[in-house]
Structure 1
Amino acid sequence: MNELEQIRSAIDTIDQEMVSLFEQRMNAVQQVIAYKKAHHFPILDTNREKEVLQKNSAYLKDSTLIPYYERWLKETMRIAKQYQKDLF
């Protein structure tokens, strides 16, 4: 296996882990949906979204990745909100 194939294999492994994490996250979203339904809360919570972005961006060791991570996380939250709407 050449160097490029090794790097791609590492990416494939990371992607597999991300699939598992995505499923875990969406399962947690289902729990949020159930809670919001039971307590008559709206789907959108902009304060929570801001908090998630700030808190999680701070975990990055490479600060040059912050704009890319924030864009990725915003898209992830957009998908989660759509999932909530679909199930709400």
Structure 2
Amino acid sequence: MALEERAPLDELARIRKSIDNIDAALIHMLAERFRFTQQVGLLKARHHLPPSDPDRERLQIARLRALAEEAQLDPAFAEKWFNFVVAEVIHHHEQIAANGESE
């Protein structure tokens, strides 16, 4: 393969490596986020609080949509991502409450 043909493939590999690094960071950040939401779930179960907090969720959606706009990310995508994560968090909180993991 000629050098001029190889250059785009090298650039593609470099860009993909950066994407892979970002994906790894996102996974680690999500894991950290879920460690904290686990603590929230335990606290809610211990004090018999509901697994979801619609008022907080509404505020967070508005905040994340604004952040997405500032970052030039589709706000609808940011909201979909948040709703997906929150659904999983609520599911975990319900499991914690049902399993009596509040002690």
- TM-score tier, shorter chain, comes to 0.7 to 0.9
Q: Which residue of 1 aligns with 2:79?
A: 70
The CA RMSD measured in Å over matched residues stands at: 1.6
- Which letter maps to 1:10? S
Q: Which residue of 2 aligns with 1:32?
A: 40
Q: Which residue of 1 aligns with 2:92?
A: 83
Paired residue secondary structure (2:74): helix
Which deviates the most, 77-86 or 59-68? 59-68
Deviation at 1:63, TM superposition (A): 4.7
Q: Which residue of 2 aligns with 1:2?
A: 10
Question: In 1, are the aligned partners of 2:41 and 2:93 still within 8 Å (CA)?
Answer: yes
Q: Which residue of 1 aligns with 2:100?
A: none
The separation in 2 between residues aligned to 1:37 and 1:78, in whole angstroms, is 17
**Identity, % of aligned pairs?**
25
Q: Which has the larger radius of gyration?
A: 2
The separation in 2 between residues aligned to 1:48 and 1:8, in whole angstroms, is 36
Structure-2-length-normalised TM-score: 0.75
Structure-1-length-normalised TM-score: 0.86
Check if 1:13 corresponds to 2:49: no
Unaligned ranges ≥5, structure 1: none
The alignment of Structure 1 onto Structure 2 pairs a total of residues equal to 88
Unaligned ranges ≥5, structure 2: 1-8, 98-103
Question: In 1, are the aligned partners of 2:41 and 2:92 still within 8 Å (CA)?
Answer: no
Question: In 1, are the aligned partners of 2:65 and 2:79 still within 8 Å (CA)?
Answer: yes
Deviation at 1:53, TM superposition (A): 0.8
The separation in 2 between residues aligned to 1:6 and 1:29, in whole angstroms, is 35
- Which letter maps to 1:47? D
